Amino acid sequence: MKAVRAYLRSPAGIIGAVLLVAVIAAALSADWLFPRDPMALAGRPLQWPGANPRLPLGTDNLGRDIAGFIFHGARVSLLIGLVASVVAVGIGVLVGAVAGFYGGWVDDLLMRITEAFQTVPNFILLLVLVAVFGSELEVITIAIGLVGWTAPCRLVRAEFLSLRSREFVLAARGLGMRDAQLILGEVLPNALPPVIVYASVTMAIAILLESALAFLGLSDPNVASWGNMIGAGRSVLRTEWYVSAIPGAAILTTVLAFSLVGQGLNDALNPRMQVL
Amino acid sequence: MKRLGGLALRRLAQSLPVLAIILIGLFLLLQLAPGDTVDALMAQMGGGSAEDAARLRTQYGLDAGVAVQLGRYLLRLLTFDLGQSAIYGKPVASVIAERLAVTAMFMSCALAFAFSAGLVLGVLAARRVNGWPDTVISTLGLVFYAIPSFWLGLMLIVLFSVKLAWLPPGGFESIGAGLSGLDRVLDIATHLVLPTLSLALIFLAIYLRLMRASMLEVMNLDFVRTARAKGLSEGHVLWRHVLRNALLPMVTFIGLQFSTMLGGSVVIESVFSLPGLGRLAFESVVQRDLNTLLGIVLVSAVLVIIVNFLVDILYAKLDPRIGANS
């Protein structure tokens, strides 16, 4: 309860929560408000927003209903963001916890691997994974998680390094707890707050990465992804720029929502840490 | 000097295992890829018999065990042999070398702009913390951070190239204009304005937040109070005492962010048709040219290591405490 009240004191957190609720509402109501297939032809191509009352945001150059596409796209973005973050944070927590808890050569080895992942530019690594494993939605989502685990890993490792020799851990060890119990039951719960804050940043990054892939035409072409429509609108950019502009504004809103929620969580959970 | 030399050697020694892990990882990833070089060749030739395939596999050394192949691959890399590019029909190393200059120039512009603008805005925000300039700048920072760079690029093209016709919508220089000397420099510069803005804005937001936080932290330190107490003007305290110390974390961040920035150049170079490394990476994915793609991964990893190395040396030069012990 204290955390909730602290969260509500942060203006960034409140605006972020409102935006996020709006995006989630769009995702949930997509099937109900726009029951037709968002990828299907809805009318004459390239109708400007407002020109046709039946299609409030107009149609793109493939004749798709932009409003319906935006609503269904919210679902895709949130799903990819969520699953990719779970993958990234999951791997990060696992590797970071083992490295930080055991230290020594285990830590050395795992940290070199982490550095290797950080050294290869994440978008280029993503391209390699797509080139090797294909571009189905599941593959893309896991690949985005695979390129994003290093930051949560470093956070968890730092927390474990500082927590592992605290008295409560030593006491638990003295009681005869096994390593797995110590890691999962004692240290991890105390190391989680900064990771939870960072998860919102991971979501934002995952959504941006997927939209960039879709924009380049390298994501799953059968999914209503916002980046996909921005890419399609590129060929009519000179005259019908709204085709690219509208889905971009949707991405901006969603990413902004996650960043602001992250800031609010940060203010509430660990006021001393600066989220970047 | 001896301090810096020792530090440089230590850092180089640390980056070697990282490079080795990347190489082995890439090689294993390649083993997972469906189809090998011979399959690609056979497809290009329009098919062939199983005997031909077996003969070609022996010729390319693909019949050896994985460990032997890995050893050969590493040996080849030591001589800068990155293999042949399937789409360009040239060695990958020379294809990449042709593209490197454009990316290097583009990255330097974006980095310089993000760093300097982030620095100035961060200082302005920190000077009046919680005042209206701070609120405006911090809000802008949050919005900049959320803008997809490729979308920003498209919108800038709509505004500055299509509507206002001030700047070219893409390309590295005007083709066939036959410019030389200063004219050519200016021509390239006008072509780089929009891509630089698009790529740099998100990093500008990061630098701005970092600089603001770092300034606020340093402003509360004892030596700043001393400087004020001895009667130095506010401007002098800010620029000569606070700024110099607040810059240190910014410098570290150049190294940390360089890899992300290089990744971002893939999309921006594709939006603005810049003939650089990033666009090459995109083309090689579309054309399934894995040799070129892996070459790019390797070259970009080496670039990141070099930049981080330079940043570490710069940092140690700025802060005499680093590397003094141990």
Nearest CB neighbour to A131, from listed B162, B288, B305:
B288
For A28, how many CA atoms within 13 A lie in the half-sphere containing its CB?
A: 6
For A216, how many CA atoms within 13 A lie in the half-sphere containing its CB?
A: 35
Which residue intervals of A34-65 are DSSP H helices?
A: none
Q: Residue A265's closest CA among A1, A71, A7, A2?
A: A7
Q: Is A251's CB within 8 Å of B296's CB? A: no
Confidence at residue B40, expressed as pLDDT on a 0 to 100 scale: 63
Q: Which amino acid is at A44?
A: R
Mean pLDDT of chain A: 86
What's the predicted TM-score (pTM) here?
A: 0.88
Residue of chain B whose Cα is closest to the Cα of A246: B151
Torsion B64-B68-B70-B74 (CA) sign = negative
- pLDDT of residue A276 exceeding 50, the answer is no
Q: Tell whether A31 is within 8 A of chain B (Cβ).
A: no
Distance from CA of B25 to the nearest CA of A (A): 9
pLDDT digits (tens, 9 = 90+) for B280-315: 999 888 887 788 888 899 899 999 999 888 888 888
Q: Is B142's CB within 8 Å of A256's CB? A: yes
**Residue ranges of chain B whose pLDDT lies below 70:** 1-2, 34-47, 59-64, 177, 322-326
Q: Tell whether A259 is within 8 A of chain B (Cβ).
A: yes
Size of interface A-B (CB pairs under 8 A): 144
Which residue intervals of A175-241 are DSSP H helices?
A: 179-181, 188-215, 226-233
Chain B partners within 8 Å of A120 (Cβ): 22, 259, 297, 300-301, 304
Residue A52, judged by CB atoms within 10 A of its CB (0-12, 13-18, 19+), counts as middle
pLDDT digits (tens, 9 = 90+) for A77-132: 999 999 999 999 999 999 999 998 888 899 989 999 999 999 999 999 999 998 88
Please give, one letter per residue, the 3-state secondary structure of chain A: CHHHHHHHCCHHHHHHHHHHHHHHHHHHHHHHHCCCCCCCCCCCCCCCCCCECCECCCECCCCCEHHHHHHHHHHHHHHHHHHHHHHHHHHHHHHHHHHHHHCHHHHHHHHHHHHHHHHCCHHHHHHHHHHHHCCCHHHHHHHHHHHCCHHHHHHHHHHHHHHCCCHHHHHHHHCCCCHHHHHHHHHHHHHHHHHHHHHHHHHHHHHHHHHHHHHCCCCCCCCCCHHHHHHHHHHHCCCCCHHHHHHHHHHHHHHHHHHHHHHHHHHHHCCCCCCC
Confidence at residue B186, expressed as pLDDT on a 0 to 100 scale: 83
Residue of chain B whose Cα is closest to the Cα of A116: B18
Greater pLDDT, A150 or B325? A150
pLDDT digits (tens, 9 = 90+) for B22-61: 988 888 887 777 666 666 666 666 667 777 777 777 766 6
Residue B322, judged by CB atoms within 10 A of its CB (0-12, 13-18, 19+), counts as middle
